[in-house]
Amino acid sequence: MIFKISISYDGSQFFGSQKQRNFPTVQGVLEEAIEKVLKQKIKLKIASRTDRFVHARENFCSFEGETKIPLENLKKAINSHLPRSLKILKIERKKKFHPRFDTVSKTYRYFIKTKNFYPYDHNYCWHVPFKLERNRMEKAAKFLVGRKDFRHLSSCLRRENTICDVKKMKISKGENFFIEIEASHFLYKMARTIVSFIVEAGMGKILERDFEKVLLGKTRHISPAPPQGLFLWKIKYK
């Protein structure tokens, strides 16, 4: 039987989602908790890998196993072995399910504060203490929507296929805001590099006439925004 699990976590407490030796990771901690409850070895498959300090409002994973424990009781039992920074939201039984290959799209939100930045904000948003022109940011976001090559707006310069379909972009209102990106899939550090591109456009460092040059890699490489402002927000399935 395949178990489909929806999880949420605070990325500042983990060394990423992928299992590592000698470091607490989402996969490692969750596998250990599940194995304690089921008393059997399991292998988690994760929908979206996240870096250290990147959070997930909702990520998905799956494992194969056998148990007669009712699903709600199973969820409560596993959660009782998890730290406060990681929680199972829902468990379902599926005949067929792959958390990564069955996705239709993924949505990330990146939170930015330009004012009223407090010490406890450091792990959950990016402090940009400059005036950002909303009109310029919206033009930069609109430019990126569609099926494009994001090789130079990611850290995948050597990857063979870097074409992604950005379905939607949204910039919330206010001086403290978020940038939301929905895409078919994301390359390594693509979401964070897109955020930097939009912020630099808002600051006037990248002009509209240079957008195409940036995408084609004909100007300097854009560095990704810090990881702590990034949240995996939603995953759509078939």
What element of type H or E holds 6? strand 2-9
Point out the catalytic residue in the list 10, 51, 102, 121. 51
Tell me the backbone φ, ψ of residue 70, rounded to 5 degrees.
-55, 145
51 is catalytic: yes
Count of C-beta atoms within a 10 Å radius of residue 50: 23
Cα–Cα distance measured from residue 195 to residue 92, given in angstroms and rounded to the nearest whole number: 34
Q: Which residue has the tokens 């792990």?
A: 123
For 173-232, the DSSP string reads SSSSEEEEEEES---TTHHHHHHHHHHHHHHTSS-GGGHHHHHHT-SPPPPPPPGGGEEE
Tokens 């939170």 correspond to what residue? Answer: 111
- Catalytic site positions: 51
